[in-house]
Structure 1
Amino acid sequence: MSLPAPETPLYNHPLPQLERWLMALGCQQDRGDRHCWLLHQGDWDAELSLDTEELVICYFPHQPQRKVVRSFKYSLSRQDVEAAVLEGP
């Protein structure tokens, strides 16, 4: 099962496709909380949460900064959300 075109809104992705997309980004699913995913990058970590109406991302910078929380509606395209997520805090 391949992913829809990158311009496709997230709400048009079945859950297995969203999960595969998150794995392709390098996320690991939290075993205790299946709707949460963890992403480790060079200078920050993030927890992504597949909520009812939006994707919520909590960034945890490695430097002494406070966490940053962002949310993205599922009506946004996969490519736009991916670019925003990987941009970091």
Structure 2
Amino acid sequence: MKGTKTGSLRQYMPKKPKKWGLKMFVRAGASGIVYDFFLYTGSTTFDNMIFSEKESYLGSGGKVVVHLYKIIPHPRKSTVYFDNWFTSLELITLLKN
């Protein structure tokens, strides 16, 4: 990604083939269709999102899952998958209840 138009939105990801880029969190279906996403903006990523008291103690990975889960039309009828970067015991307990 060249240029400076993205300002501070560009993230350095040392383990990726292209080290600099935009970090996006995506909710997609089994078919690969993207239903929702949001851009990682650093320390201000979660400023405009509302979390309950229990949810506010989750780390950034847990907050990503909770935010994308809340906007699923029928969450009780859905199955949510995420990888180990997002996983914590607190998140699993919160989603179970």
Higher RCO (CA-CA < 8 Å; seq separation 6+): 1
Query: TM-score scaled to structure 1, two decimals?
Result: 0.28
Which structure has the bigger radius of gyration?
Answer: 2
Task: Using structure 2 for the length normalisation, give the TM-score.
Answer: 0.27
